[in-house]
C-alpha cells in the first residue's frame, strides 16, 4: 500500500530565504508526481507535475525533483515571499490505480516579512 | 476558459440527511475524480468517473455514490450523513492520467 509522507509538517522562514520541502513515498511504481498549493479553505492549485521518466521540473522560482529509486521528491522555492505562505501538498499517481492521487498530509509554510 | 467549478460552495446538513454535490470539469477534460479532505489532512480519494462509469474507488462506504453525465459533469451523493462526513469535498478533472485540476471545493458541515 502506497504511503506518502511530507516533512516537515510546518515551516516558518523569513522572507527571501531559499527553502526545500520534502516528500517521500513507499512504492516507486508511480506514473507521475504532482505538487500542489492550497490556501486556507480553498481548492488545490497545481504547481508542477513530474512524469516518472523525468528528474525535475521548473516553473519560475519553483523547482521540483524526483528520485524514484529512493522514493523521494523535493520542492525547492527560491527567494521566498510572504505570498508563498500556504500549505504545499505532494501526490503520487500509480500506473495500476488509474488516475487516483495519493496525497501526503502537507507542509504548512509561513513566510514572514 | 472556465476552470473546474463546484456547487454549492458551502452546505449545512443534519445527521441522517442526504446531500448532492456537483462538479463541472475543465473544458476538454473527460475524467472527474472526487476527494474528501478533513481539516488538517491531505485529500483522500473517493472515486473517479470516466465515460460515465466509475473507474476507480477508494476506501469509502457505499453511502458515497456518484454519477457522470454525457457532458462529463459529475455528482457526488452521500446518504445517511454522519458527523464524520464534515469535510471539504474536492472535485478534480483531467484528460487521461495527466495533470489533475481541482475546483474550489464544497465545504460540508454535518450537525
A-chain CB neighbours of B41 within 8 Å are 105
B25 touches chain A (CB under 8 A): no
Beta strands A10-14 and A107-112, pairing class: parallel
- What confidence tens digit (pLDDT) does each residue in B13-65 have? 999 999 999 999 999 999 999 999 999 899 999 999 999 999 889 999 999 99
Check: CB of residue A28 under 8 Å from CB of residue A68.
yes
Per-residue pLDDT of chain A (113 residues; tens, 9 = 90+): 889 999 999 999 999 999 999 999 999 889 899 999 999 988 999 999 999 999 999 999 999 999 999 999 999 999 999 999 999 999 999 766 667 899 999 999 999 99
Contact call for A105 and B31, based on CB within 8 A: no
Contact call for A103 and B42, based on CB within 8 A: yes
Check: CB of residue B21 under 8 Å from CB of residue B89.
yes
C-alpha grid cell, residue A29:
511504481
Choose among A43, A98, A100: nearest Cβ to B103: A43
Q: Which residue of chain A has the CA closest to B10? A: A41
Radius of gyration over every alpha carbon of chain B, rounded to an integer in angstroms: 13
Is the confidence at residue B96, as pLDDT, over 90?
A: no
Assess whether the previous peptide bond of A71 is cis (omega < 30° from 0): no
- Give the integer Cα–Cα distance in Å for A77 and A74: 10
Amino acid at each position: 500500500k502506497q504511503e506518502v509522507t511530507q516533512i516537515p509538517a510546518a515551516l516558518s522562514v523569513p522572507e527571501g530565504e531559499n527553502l526545500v520541502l520534502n516528500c517521500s513515498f513507499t512504492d516507486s511504481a508511480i506514473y507521475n508526481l504532482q505538487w500542489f498549493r492550497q490556501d486556507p479553505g480553498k481548492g488545490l492549485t497545481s504547481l508542477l507535475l513530474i512524469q516518472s521518466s523525468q528528474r525535475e521540473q521548473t516553473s519560475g522560482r519553483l523547482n521540483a525533483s524526483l528520485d524514484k529509486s529512493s522514493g523521494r521528491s523535493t520542492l525547492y522555492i527560491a527567494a521566498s515571499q510572504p505570498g508563498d505562505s500556504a500549505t504545499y501538498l505532494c501526490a503520487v499517481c500509480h500506473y495500476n490505480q488509474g488516475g487516483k492521487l495519493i496525497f501526503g498530509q502537507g507542509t504548512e509554510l509561513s513566510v514572514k516579512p | 476558459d472556465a476552470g473546474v467549478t463546484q456547487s454549492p460552495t458551502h452546505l449545512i446538513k443534519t445527521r441522517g440527511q442526504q446531500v448532492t454535490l456537483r462538479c463541472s470539469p475543465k473544458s476538454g477534460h473527460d475524467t472527474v475524480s472526487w476527494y474528501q479532505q478533513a481539516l488538517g489532512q491531505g485529500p483522500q480519494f473517493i472515486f473517479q468517473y470516466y465515460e460515465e462509469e466509475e473507474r476507480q474507488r477508494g476506501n469509502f462506504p457505499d453511502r458515497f455514490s456518484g454519477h457522470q453525465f454525457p457532458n462529463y459533469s459529475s455528482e457526488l451523493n452521500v446518504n445517511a450523513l454522519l458527523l464524520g462526513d464534515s469535510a471539504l469535498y474536492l472535485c478534480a478533472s483531467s484528460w487521461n492520467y495527466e495533470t489533475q485540476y481541482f475546483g474550489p471545493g464544497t465545504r460540508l458541515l454535518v450537525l
